[in-house]
Structure 1
Amino acid sequence: MRIAGEPAFVLHTRPWRESSLLVEVLGASHGRLGLLARGVQGPKRHVLRAALQPLQYLRIDAVQRGELAQLRAAEALDAAPRLAGEATLAAFYVNELVLRLAPRGDPQPDLFVAYARSRARLGAGAPLAWTLRRFERDLLQALGFGFDCAVDGDGLAIDPAARYRIDPEYGPRRLLRDRGRDDRSDAATGRALLALAADEDLAASALDADDLAGLRRALRPVLTYHLGGRGLKSWELLGELGRLAPRA
């Protein structure tokens, strides 16, 4: 199968043998693709090599033969965002989620759009915690694992004053105060779920640090479930994503 002029984002690159690279990309029409880029490590191929760095938006030509496609050409379509510090770790997390959850060769146009939005937000210095929560929501939705953040698993409207745990298959479950369980750290506030459902800008919402931290902790078991119980390297690097505090 020939792939011609496919817009794609680079997710991951690693050396292969002496002069080649193994590249994972998220394509607009073909979904996640594994590419073999031969002979790109030489001194005369630095332009092509630079176009194959993570976060780069590019156009590719390739030939699919077996599990890996043979890269024929790649052209950068813009300048990749220049990130530093926590924003770099956030981008690593976004890329790792896509690599772990999106199957190869399965077209994911909604995921492609969601990735483009998150990449732009990271490049613009948007609040990191909220950028990641929005991407997690969009990723789960695009892959068929999503749930309605505006209603609970019983179809009742989310109460902004209540707290909810999120069941991977059932959706939000309201916590009842009379159950005698004191540990509510893995529960999201209703107002955080509603803000996520409305896709509000953080500056326009009434969310505080507790709302953001609770939402992160509530979504973590959902992601872990779909990851097959095996965590992410980025979780280990970041320790707790809650330290990605919102910035104005």
Structure 2
Amino acid sequence: MATSRGSSPLQAYVLHQHDWSETSLIVELFTRGQGRVVVAAKGAKRPTSNFRAVLLPFQPLLVALGKAPADDAAEIYNLRSAEFAGGRPLLAAAAMFPAFYANELLLKLLARQDPHPALFDAYADTLAALATGAEEAPALRAFELVLLRELGWLPELDTDTLTAEPLQDDGLYTLRADAGLLAQPEGLPGATWRALELALDVAAEMAQAHPGAGGGMAALREACTPVAPALRGPLRSLLHYHLGPLPLRTREVWRGLQRLAAPR
């Protein structure tokens, strides 16, 4: 569906959608220019609607929105047009759960109308990596690190939060949701945390220098690869600290499927 005239197209991904009426949908979009926005896709459920084939998760879109809502509390735009931006392979079945997990994090942690272009680029690059067979764990740990830093919840990973002193390469440190990065005997070496901090800095610099190009996510995934299992617990704890008491539905579904698939 061609982008409407007089409206600058927005790069976007579908995060979630639900029925609004017999013929229409309410769609949560993650856009590069406006952050997370909610739109009404009128007539999207009709067999003849061009929206039916376009409003799919994990596919890059170009969308045009109607005027801003007259009632600021409503926060719902009319979706004027949407078309595929192209250039990305479809996700295989095995990559669906990590991708839905990333979507759920964005839905629950991002405020509406709060743009994060670097995070948008990191999300797009993560989907592309999953689609081409990248390992799930390093891809998700890299995405979680960028998400936490973008939202201001990740401490400096080259500094002891308690003492404000640089990490010792052979010291052991743990990331705690309530206290930051602290010396702990069961933690990761300081050299590992410093390497992750450097990879995050490089990714941020590349994102600023080359917008839309992925921002060095491949290097960050590489830095996460040898320590992805050890990072899972601290990063998930930090995320849940800000998510609150409600569990992530994607993880609950995934654990249920694993239990069903386990040999009895």
Same fold by TM-score greater than 0.5: yes
Name which of 121, 128, 133 aligns with 1:113.
121
Q: CA 1:206–1:114 in 2, change beyond 3 Å: closer, same or farther?
A: closer
Cα shift at 1:171: 2.1
Matches within 5 A, 1:39-78: 39-45=43-49, 47-63=50-66, 64-65=68-69, 66-78=74-86
Q: CA 1:158–1:86 in 2, change beyond 3 Å: closer, same or farther?
A: farther
Residue matched to 1:196: 196
Name which of 74, 84, 87 aligns with 2:92.
84
**1:11, 1:206 → 2: CA distance?**
25
Structure 1 stretches lacking a partner, 5+ long = 177-183, 241-248
**2:105, 2:57 → 1: CA distance?**
14
Residue matched to 1:221: 237
Residue matched to 2:18: 14
Cα shift at 1:90: 0.5
Residue matched to 2:250: 234
Q: Does structure 1 retain, via aligned residues, the 8 Å contact 2:175–2:234? A: yes
Q: CA RMSD in A?
A: 2.6
Cα shift at 1:166: 1.5
Name which of 40, 60, 75 aligns with 1:36.
40
Name which of 125, 149, 163 aligns with 2:133.
125
Q: Does structure 2 retain, via aligned residues, the 8 Å contact 1:192–1:215? A: no
Cα shift at 1:131: 0.8
Residue matched to 2:159: 151
Cα shift at 1:134: 0.8
Q: Which moved more, 1:110-119 or 1:163-172?
A: 163-172
Cα shift at 1:189: 4.8
Identical-pair percentage: 34
Cα shift at 1:85: 3.7
Matches within 5 A, 1:202-213: 208=226, 211-213=227-229
Cα shift at 1:110: 2.2
Residue matched to 2:180: 171
Q: Does structure 2 retain, via aligned residues, the 8 Å contact 1:19–1:38? A: yes
Q: CA 1:14–1:191 in 2, change beyond 3 Å: closer, same or farther?
A: farther
Cα shift at 1:92: 0.5
Residue matched to 2:259: none
Structure with the largest fraction of strand: 1
Cα shift at 1:226: 0.9
Cα shift at 1:220: 1.2
Q: CA 1:117–1:206 in 2, change beyond 3 Å: closer, same or farther?
A: closer
Structure 2 length-normalised TM: 0.76
Structure 1 length-normalised TM: 0.81
Q: CA 1:224–1:62 in 2, change beyond 3 Å: closer, same or farther?
A: same
Q: Deviations over 1:89-131 (max 9, x none)?
A: 1000111000000011112222212212212221222121111
Q: How many residues align?
A: 227
**1:58, 1:202 → 2: CA distance?**
25
Q: Does structure 2 retain, via aligned residues, the 8 Å contact 1:192–1:207? A: no
